[in-house]
Structure 1
Amino acid sequence: MQLISLIVVKSTTNEIIRKIKFNEKGLSLIVDETNKITSGSNIGKTTAVKIIDLCLGANSPSSLYKEKDTGENIIVGEFLEKNKVYAELTCKINDELYTFKRSLYKNGKNEINGEITNNIAEYRNKLNNIIFNNSNNKPTLRQLITKFIRLENSNESSLLKYLGTYTKNYEYQAIYEYLFGIDTSKSENVNILSINEGIEKDIEAIYRKNGVSSLKEFETKINLMKEEVDKFKKSYSEITVINGYNDKFNDMQELLSDIHKLEANYSKCKLKIELMKEKIKKEEDKIFNVDTKILKKLYDETKLSLDSQLRDFEDLEKFHNGMVNKRITMLKEAMNELQVELNSTNLELKKLQKDYENNFVSFNIELKDKFEEKYGEYSKNKIKLENFENDYNYVVEKQKEKDNNLSKKITQNNNGNKKQEIEEKFNIYFKELTKNIIGETFAIVINEDDEEFPVKIIGMNGKPGTGIKKAMITCFDLAHVKLIIKEGYHMPVFVIHDKLENIDLKELRGIIAESRIFEGQYIFPILNDRIDMLGIKEEEVVLRLSAGDKFFHIK
């Protein structure tokens, strides 16, 4: 795939804002004509390459006017929206021309060769098929094309980890094997590995939550928890929740028995007193009380002389009443003794009843509290056990799901020989480029271990230092395009780099020299004050920008 041209147009008026024709091979430079006094930022150098990236499926046109560091450029955003600006990138793939049209405003349509796509996902899938001959979208377009268009500030890790450090090694394995033309089968398994990685994270989170590190530990912990729950359950069912429960219960029963005895004695005494009262009343009814004067008057009227008889009768009466009163006195004395006993029994009974009431309430409160405490512990541990078992069952199911996913993996090609072959071919170009540009020879190593990052760069003095990282990125990417051209891979043969303005002048001279004999296309911005130093030819410049002539011509 070769870049032919880029045009940016106001669709409201069909006015062309920019038209860039790229050189067929070698250098296509974007020159920043601002001087040292005038700042060259925000003139549109990065905008130009961002638009190419958007035409090749980058996320959102908002990247043209929104920056993490500087915020939103409202003027540019409104300009794009008001004029309904679009960009059209023309490319050549196997001698056939393609146009990729991307709207640079919100909710705009995207087209491929004049055919509108429904959404960005469809647009990318079609591009992946056209550019990389990758119909199954594994790896994705953006995972592949980002290797050819580097827009972010380069750092040490982005030399090889160009998608960032969050992309996993197994993903990079599949991507690099695809880019190097080694194997495509590994990319078929990336989704499975990614899904299983998510499952592993879920399982690890469950393990951490429950303080275990394996299913075996999980089982042991569950068994311990079951024993604890059974112990609480047994304690609850056997009412052994109160220490000395049986002794306390027996004391309560003895106290209750004493109360019943006293209640019986109290009732007996009370009954005796009632009987005594009835006897006294009967005795009182026996007292003979006759008025002798009335009796004498009666006898006088009947002419009877009864002096001696009346006296005897009176004596008899006194004797009789005396005996009755004596029995009454004895009964009252006995009744008083019973009353004393009754009062004493009543006092003792009330005391015992009070003691029983207090002990009963205390006992039941303690029993209730202990029951609640034990039941609370039992319930808490039962719920905890249920949660343990649920988590355990979840892990078991996830392990089955993971194993099932692994069973769906396709058999990957045994590509050890292919890797060695590609490594040797790549290093022919890479060694030459690093020697000519950096002044030191480096080589790549393609790792056999799938767990490791797929590519390493090694020099005679070890890994490359941070001071040469930008030049190293150029060497690596140009060597890759040389490999693509040599092997005839269905891939881009261009490299677009941003942020190379401050690269060391010596290294930059080497880059310019190598780019002039480069069969692919190398596009990057350069500062105007370096043009003369590097002997840049006019035909190598495809776009000039300045403070007075920014990309969108916005003042």
Structure 2
Amino acid sequence: MRLVNLVVKEGLSNQIIRNIPFNKSGLSLIVDETNSKESGSNIGKTTAVKVIDLCLGAQSASSLYKEKDTGENHIVKDFLEKNKVFAELTSVIDDKKYTFKRCLYKNGKSSINGEEVKNITEYREKLNNIIFKNANNKPTFRQLIAKFIRLENSNESSLLKYLGTYCKNYQYQAIYSYLYGIDTSKSKNVDILSLNEAIDKDIEAIFRKNGVGSLSEFEAKINLMKEEVNKFKKAYSEVTVIEEYKDKTQEIDDILTKINKLEGIYAKGKLKVDLMKEKIKREQEKIFSVDHKLLKKLYNETKIYIDKPLMDFKELEQFHNGMVNKRIGMLKESLKELSDDLKKVEGELNNLRIEYEANYVEFNIEIKDKFEEKYNEFSINKIKLENFMNDYNYIELKQKEKKDNLSKKVEENSDDEEKEDIKKILNKYFKVLTDEIIGEPFAILLNENDDEFPIKIIGMNGKPGTGIKKAMITCFDLAHINLIINKGYHMPVFEIHDKLENIDLKELNNIIRETRKFTGQYIFPILNDRIDQLGIKDEEIVLRLSTTDKFFRI
């Protein structure tokens, strides 16, 4: 794919704002003609590159008038909207012309060779098929085309990681393998690797949440938790296994034994008292209580029949009752002794019962509190164990899913001879360009492991330092274009760089000299005061801009 020209028009009047023809090969320069006393900012150098990028599927036309730091340029925005401005980028692909139209105002339609497309997604997919013959859209069009249009400041990071650091190593592997023609099958496996990466992040988050670093650590933690839970179950079913309660239990048992013994003694004493009371009652019933007059009459009458007179009955009554009362007195003394002993036993028994009750209640409260505490701990551990098991099973499931995903990977290209040939050709161009432009030859190393970044740049003194020169990007990208031309890949053979106008004059002079021999197209902006210093030819300039002639002429 070679660029033919870029036309920017007002849609309402069909008036041409810009018609920029590109040289078929070599240099196509955008010149900033502001003098040293004027500012070259906002005249449209970057705008020209952004419009080309929009025609090649960049996301939004708002990039033409909106900046992160300065906000919106309402003059440009209103002009584009009011006049329905659009851009058409014409290119040649396989000897056939293609015109990619992109509207530069909100909700404008895009088309390819006059055929309208529904949305930006469809537009990009069609471009991917036309420009790269990449019908399955893997890698995506924007992942590929961004290598040929660099809009950001040149730095070490964007030299190799031109899509930024958010793009993963395995994605860069697939993209560079595709761009260099090494292996197009890698791109077919990107989705699988992406799925597995998401699974790995998920697993890592679960490991971190549970304070482990691997499945084996997780298993060990689960086993420890199981032991704790089982230990509590046993302690709960056998109270006596809790050491601090053994002595307390024995103390309560001893009190109960004493109570049982005293209750026996008390029962016997109570029985003796009751029996003694009964005996006294029977003795009291033996006391006489008679009518002495009647007894005397009976006595007088009996004298008639009895030869010997009977003892005086009153004396007899007194004697009998005296003997009975004497026995009752003795029995009452015995009853008092028994009652006093019984009261003593009852007092001891009551004290023991109070002591037992206090100890029993306290013991049960303590044991209840202790078991509530233990049960809470058990419940927490049980819940933790359940959560651990759920997370563990989930990780096992996800690891199986990862394995299943990997089984679906397509077999990658194993043509080692072709790979080696590509590396040699790429390095041949790169070494020459770095030697001629930077003054030191560098080599490109290609890594093919998914977990490594695919490219390293190494010089005779090691890899380039953090102060790498901007010219390295030119060498890196133009070597790629030379590889594309050499191998006949179905890819763009142009390179567009922005922000190179302040490059070191010596290196810029070397770039101009080398790219005049370049069979591809190299487009970038340059300051007017360097035109004479570098011997730039008029035919190498495709667009001149100034404060009085900005890109949109407003």
TM-score by length of 1: 0.85
CA positional deviation for 1:465: 4.8
Pairwise mapping of residues 88-237 of structure 1 onto structure 2 (< 5 A)? 88-210=88-210, 212-237=212-237
Q: 1:327 to 1:41 in 2, by over 3 A?
A: farther
CA positional deviation for 1:211: 5.2
The AA in structure 2 aligned to 1:546 is S
Aligned match of 2:435: 435
Residues 415-424 or 199-208, more deviating: 199-208
On the 8 A contact 2:102/2:109 being kept in 1, the answer is yes
CA positional deviation for 1:135: 0.4
Pairwise mapping of residues 454-533 of structure 1 onto structure 2 (< 5 A)? 454-465=454-465, 469-533=469-533
The AA in structure 1 aligned to 2:545 is L
CA positional deviation for 1:124: 1.5
CA positional deviation for 1:141: 0.9
Q: 1:316 to 1:220 in 2, by over 3 A?
A: same
User: Separation in 2 of the partners of 1:426 and 1:404?
Assistant: 37
Q: 1:347 to 1:411 in 2, by over 3 A?
A: same
The AA in structure 2 aligned to 1:49 is V
Q: 1:76 to 1:357 in 2, by over 3 A?
A: farther
Offset from partner CA, 1:408-467 (integer Å, 9 cap, x none): 222222232212222332334333333332233334344466654333333344434555
User: Separation in 2 of the partners of 1:174 and 1:497?
Assistant: 23
Structure 1 portions without partners, runs of 5+: 300-308
On the 8 A contact 1:259/1:353 being kept in 2, the answer is yes
Offset from partner CA, 1:7-64 (integer Å, 9 cap, x none): 4445566555544333333322222233333332233322221222122122333333
Residues 110-119 or 155-164, more deviating: 110-119
User: Separation in 1 of the partners of 2:452 and 2:244?
Assistant: 67
SS in 2 for 1:52: helix
User: Separation in 2 of the partners of 1:336 and 1:550?
Assistant: 132
Offset from partner CA, 1:292-322 (integer Å, 9 cap, x none): 7xx59x99xxxxxxxxx9x955545544554
Q: 1:16 to 1:237 in 2, by over 3 A?
A: farther
User: Separation in 1 of the partners of 2:534 and 2:424?
Assistant: 32
Q: 1:288 to 1:447 in 2, by over 3 A?
A: closer
Identity %: 70
Residues 409-418 or 32-41, more deviating: 32-41
Pairwise mapping of residues 234-383 of structure 1 onto structure 2 (< 5 A)? 234-243=234-243, 245=245, 248-270=248-270, 273=273, 312=312, 314-383=314-383
SS in 1 for 2:489: coil
On the 8 A contact 2:173/2:448 being kept in 1, the answer is no
CA positional deviation for 1:502: 0.9
SS in 2 for 1:174: helix
SS in 1 for 2:243: coil
User: Separation in 2 of the partners of 1:479 and 1:199?
Assistant: 38
User: Separation in 2 of the partners of 1:149 and 1:113?
Assistant: 22
SS in 2 for 1:523: strand
Offset from partner CA, 1:150-172 (integer Å, 9 cap, x none): 11111113222222234333332
- Asked if 1:399 corresponds to 2:399, the answer is yes
SS in 1 for 2:413: coil
SS in 1 for 2:514: helix
User: Separation in 2 of the partners of 1:325 and 1:4?
Assistant: 151
Q: 1:263 to 1:14 in 2, by over 3 A?
A: farther
The AA in structure 1 aligned to 2:155 is N
Q: 1:339 to 1:465 in 2, by over 3 A?
A: closer
Offset from partner CA, 1:241-296 (integer Å, 9 cap, x none): 4216555434423322322343344455456555655665666666556797xx59
SS in 2 for 1:409: coil
Offset from partner CA, 1:491-538 (integer Å, 9 cap, x none): 111111011121011111222233333332222122222233223334
SS in 2 for 1:496: strand
User: Separation in 2 of the partners of 1:457 and 1:243?
Assistant: 71
| Number of residues of Structure 1 aligned to a counterpart in Structure 2 | 547
User: Separation in 1 of the partners of 2:46 and 2:483?
Assistant: 27
User: Separation in 2 of the partners of 1:137 and 1:388?
Assistant: 41
Residues 24-33 or 122-131, more deviating: 24-33
Structure 2 portions without partners, runs of 5+: 298-308
Aligned match of 1:304: none
User: Separation in 2 of the partners of 1:330 and 1:105?
Assistant: 131
On the 8 A contact 1:159/1:469 being kept in 2, the answer is no
On the 8 A contact 1:430/1:475 being kept in 2, the answer is yes
SS in 2 for 1:469: coil
User: Separation in 2 of the partners of 1:85 and 1:277?
Assistant: 129
Q: 1:136 to 1:274 in 2, by over 3 A?
A: same
On the 8 A contact 2:433/2:479 being kept in 1, the answer is yes
On the 8 A contact 2:235/2:242 being kept in 1, the answer is no
Offset from partner CA, 1:198-249 (integer Å, 9 cap, x none): 3334344444555555544544444444444433333333334421655543
User: Separation in 2 of the partners of 1:287 and 1:82?
Assistant: 142
